[in-house]
Amino acid sequence: MKNLIPELVILLSSFSLLITGVFSKTFNKIINYIIIVLLAALIFVVYFNFASSVTLFGNSYTIDPLSNFMKTLVLISVLFTMLISNTYLERLKIAKFEYPIILLLSTLGMFVMISANNLIVFYLGLELQSLCLYVLAAINTKSLKSSEAGLKYFVLGSLSSGLLLYGCSLVYGFTGSVDYSEIAKVATEQSGALKFGLVFILCGIAFKISAVPFHMWSPDVYEGSPTSVTTFFAMAPKVAAIAALIKFLNVPYANFISEWRTIVIVLSIASMFLGAVAAIGQSNLKRLMAYSSIGHVGFILAGLAIATPQSLSAVLVYLVIYVFMNIGVFACIMSLNRNGVYFENISDLSGLSKHHPLIAICLTILTFSLAGIPPLAGFFAKFYIFLAIIQQKIYYLAVVGLLSAVIAAFYYLRIIKVIYFDAAKESYEKNSNYGIKFSLIFSTVVILFYFIDPSTLNTIVESITKNIK
Amino acid sequence: MIAHALIFYLLSSITILSSIMVISSKNTVHSVFFLILAFVNVSCLFIMIGAEFVGMILLIVYVGAVAVLFLFVVMMLEGNFVKVKQGFLQYMPFGFFIALVIFFELIIIIGSWQFRPEFIKTAKIAYDVKETNTVQIGKLLYTDYFLPFQLSGIVLLVAMIGAILLTFRRRDNLKRQDILKQSSREREDSIELVDVESNKGVKVND
């Protein structure tokens, strides 16, 4: 029971907040603060139970250091999303009280996904979180683009869920069990059918993390949904899906490593390359971030494909740094508003250095980090991944990774050029929102000073990954 | 046994034929009727293998609720589906190609399954003939599958909240009846006695 506290608190608080929200009109204004406090408290709860390792509900739900780590990361990204998006929602008049509740329920879905030790529970968690995401994408009912984003995401997402379910049914049909550890026992023999199941399930998960060739939805959905929702999309669902993927590949399919390694490497190379090349022509910042996240997912998948404890540690470190970089960049995008209109084009960044030097410096540091320039955190994230790849002597993967990092540096540097060297435009509203300021400065400081003490994170992560297999 | 086989083949061929008719009939209302026919036949098939609970649920939920809802939607939409049909014909060869690929994949899979009986050994669902399967499903749902059961409840709740959130709009320019306001209205609120001076009249608000 003690180990289920985060899930139960999220569930029960979202129910009670929902009921209160229906009956009380003044509640709208404080519900965001209640949930922010709640999430911050939950981070501590998860942190204090960090080392616990149990399986619950007849071996279908595991809580271990890996899942606690991922849950903390999800909680951090949801917390900062809420901090950043407070004024944005009010300005756009979409600050309905259901919005943070849907966000909470989606977090619950991610928790279930992360902890699932059984195909049914995994699928239900996935469906719970994506159903919430479909609603969030379409939440701005006044905007045509938002509705389009929601519909597109819903249709393609259901298709991918269908593929995933088909894969699950094949796996169940040939192993006679949906339990991960039971599947692992039976899956020792070389069987063709289990590979089919693997491929279908991988397709479903690749869609959720927008790996190429299942990335089509992501630029449109990122652009169309409200920026606060895009912030959420860029971080939390990816963390959860990667956690589920780590578990799925290394528990039930641990004996199939030579089979799935090829698939994951193909996904990884395609994502790294497309993320770098397709972003060059973009003029919208949110679309650019979509392609940037596709590229980053490519690097994460490269780490997953190696599947040594060292590379999995690299993946976890990468995820942490990725989340913090995104918090900062989206906080910058959120501060580009003038008279209630939000700007989201790259050309709108010009003159930032003159009128808003703080935002300009933060954004510069963050973009350098996204590009992987030392000594910023983004460099270390990529460095660990490459180290793990080279130790396994898969050189071509490292070469493609390096090349795409160089290509990607071009469009990141273009942002910096626009900020500092283009003709200045009108200034934006001076930001009075402390949430955005705090998130921006906090994430920049984390990214900037990561190199002083990388070992703290590394020791935590290594203690987690050595127990995965 | 031969009667059993005959009924099985009758029901399953009707199912296949009616599902083909669902996608090929010109009138969408007819498609929905064929869909209902397919559902009814499938539920009969379930009852034949002894899964009477699933069969009945299929009847109640799919035929009773979903299909009738479909019917209403289709009758209200009344769209022009001829264009959609043309697109369908255009992509037919490609569709057949995909179907062929999947068909061969299925053959490979079923082959590997048929010739490897050790895969089926691991199935461990306890099946007790003495109890009806409603009882058995109930027992499983509230014990072994408690977590998935509750989670699917939450998924449905989210679907409901989402549907309300996206479609519900509060309109301001409507005049709504407020019974409390009406019955608590006093004479003084609405009637005012004024001494009208001659040649001046009264200024009426609103």
What pLDDT, on the 0 to 100 scale, is given for residue B77? 75
Q: Are A172 and A119 in contact (CB under 8 A)?
A: yes
What pLDDT, on the 0 to 100 scale, is given for residue B121? 53
Nearest Cα neighbor of B192 from B177, B203, B183 is B203
Contact state of A135 with B158 under an 8 Å Cβ cutoff: yes
What pLDDT, on the 0 to 100 scale, is given for residue B85? 61
Nearest Cα neighbor of A208 from A85, A125, A318, A304 is A125
Collect the ranges in chain A with pLDDT lower than 70: 189-192, 431-432, 469
Contact state of A132 with B162 under an 8 Å Cβ cutoff: yes
What is the ipTM, given to two decimal places?
0.90
Measured between alpha carbons, how far is residue A267 from residues A206, A237, A385, A401, B186 in Å? 8, 18, 16, 12, 74
Name every chain B residue with its beta carbon within 8 A of the beta carbon of A98.
161, 165
Nearest Cα neighbor of A317 from A409, A438, A173, A454 is A454
Best residue of B127, B160, B161 to probe chain A, by most A CBs closer than 10 Å: B161
Interface of A to B at Cβ within 8 Å reads: 11, 18, 57-58, 60-61, 96, 98, 101-102, 105, 108, 112, 120-121, 124-125, 127-128, 131-132, 134-135, 138-139, 141, 150, 170, 173-177, 182, 186, 189, 191-193, 196
In this structure, which amino acid lies at residue A200?
F
Structure tokens at B203: 């200024």
Dist. CA B2–CA B5, nearest whole Å:
5
Contact state of B113 with A61 under an 8 Å Cβ cutoff: no
Name every chain A residue with its beta carbon within 8 A of the beta carbon of B106.
none
Dist. CA B85–CA A437, nearest whole Å:
55
Give buried/exposed letters for A291-308 (b at 16+ CB in 10 A, else e): bbbbbbbbbbbbbbbbbe
Angle of helix A395-421 versus helix A257-277 axis, rounded to 10:
30
Dist. CA A38–CA A6, nearest whole Å:
10
Name every chain A residue with its beta carbon within 8 A of the beta carbon of B118.
189
Q: What proportions of chain B, in percent to the nearest 5, are helix, strand and coil?
A: 70, 0, 30
Dist. CA A235–CA A327, nearest whole Å:
8
Assess B151–A contact: CB distance below 8 Å, yes or no.
yes
Collect the ranges in chain B with pLDDT lower than 70: 78-88, 109-129, 205-206
In this structure, which amino acid lies at residue A221?
V
Using CB atoms within 10 A of its CB, is residue A44 exposed (0-12), middle (13-18) or buried (19+)? exposed
Q: Look-up: residue for tokens 């043309």?
A: B86
Q: Are B132 and B53 in contact (CB under 8 A)?
A: yes
Name every chain A residue with its beta carbon within 8 A of the beta carbon of B146.
57
Structure tokens at A312: 């999995």
Measured between alpha carbons, how far is residue A223 from residues A284, A449, B165 in Å? 8, 31, 21
**A61: nearest CB among B144, B147, B152:** B147
**A131: nearest CB among B112, B148, B155:** B155
pTM of the model: 0.86
What pLDDT, on the 0 to 100 scale, is given for residue B153? 95
| Long-range contact pairs involving A6-12 (C-beta distance under 8 Å, separation at least 24) | A6/A42, A6/A45, A6/A46, A6/A71, A6/A75, A6/A111, A7/A108, A7/A111, A7/A112, A9/A38, A9/A42, A9/A45, A10/A42, A10/A104, A10/A105, A10/A107, A10/A108, A10/A111, A11/A108, A11/B154
**Which residue from B minimizes the CA distance to A97?**
B165
Q: Closest Cα of chain B to A109: distance in Å?
A: 9
What pLDDT, on the 0 to 100 scale, is given for residue A87? 82
Name every chain B residue with its beta carbon within 8 A of the beta carbon of A128.
151, 154-155, 158
**B105: nearest CB among A57, A134, A196:** A196
Dist. CA A173–CA A105, nearest whole Å:
31
What pLDDT, on the 0 to 100 scale, is given for residue B127? 60
Measured between alpha carbons, how far is residue A264 from residues A76, A205, A249, A270, B28 in Å? 27, 11, 10, 10, 43
Dist. CA A343–CA A339, nearest whole Å:
11
Structure tokens at A128: 């719970």
Dist. CA A381–CA A388, nearest whole Å:
11
What pLDDT, on the 0 to 100 scale, is given for residue B115? 58
Dist. CA A135–CA A147, nearest whole Å:
9
Return the SS3 of B194: coil
Q: Closest Cα of chain B to A285: distance in Å?
A: 26
What pLDDT, on the 0 to 100 scale, is given for residue A157? 94
Name every chain B residue with its beta carbon within 8 A of the beta carbon of A137.
none
Contact state of A176 with B123 under an 8 Å Cβ cutoff: yes
3-state SS track over chain A = CHHHHHHHHHHHHHHHHHHHHHHCCCHHHHHHHHHHHHHHHHHHHHHHCCCCCEEECCCCEEECHHHHHHHHHHHHHHHHHHHHHHHHHHHCCCCCCHHHHHHHHHHHHHHHHHHECEHHHHHHHHHHHHHHHHHHHCCCCCCHHHHHHHHHHHHHHHHHHHHHHHHHHHHHHHHCCCEHHHHHHHCCCCCHHHHHHHHHHHHHHHHHCCCCCCCCHHHHHHHHCCHHHHHHHHHHHHHHHHHHHHHHHHCCCHHHHHHHHHHHHHHHHHHHHHHHHCCCCCCEHHHHHHHHHHHHHHHHHHHHHHCCHHHHHHHHHHHHHHHHHHHHHHHHHHCCEECCEECCEHHHHCCHHHHCHHHHHHHHHHHHHHHCCCCCHHHHHHHHHHHHHHHCCCHHHHHHHHHHHHHHHHHHHHHHHHHHHCCCCCCCCCCCCHHHHHHHHHHHHHHHCHHHCHHHHHHHHHHHHCCCC
Q: Closest Cα of chain A to B148: distance in Å?
A: 6
Q: Interior CA angle at A332 toward A330 and A337, to 5°?
A: 110
Residues paired with A341 in a beta bridge: A338
In this structure, which amino acid lies at residue B117?
P
**A174: nearest CB among B108, B113, B165:** B113
Structure tokens at B20: 């083909």
Q: Closest Cα of chain A to B104: distance in Å?
A: 12
Name every chain B residue with its beta carbon within 8 A of the beta carbon of A57.
146-147
Assess B147–A contact: CB distance below 8 Å, yes or no.
yes
Q: What is the pLDDT of residues A331-377, one digit of tens each?
A: 999 888 887 788 888 888 888 888 888 889 999 999 999 999 988 99
In this structure, which amino acid lies at residue B84?
V
What pLDDT, on the 0 to 100 scale, is given for residue B80? 59
Dist. CA A250–CA A200, nearest whole Å:
17
Structure tokens at A334: 């959120």
Dist. CA A426–CA A433, nearest whole Å:
20
Dist. CA B119–CA A188, nearest whole Å:
11
What pLDDT, on the 0 to 100 scale, is given for residue A343? 87
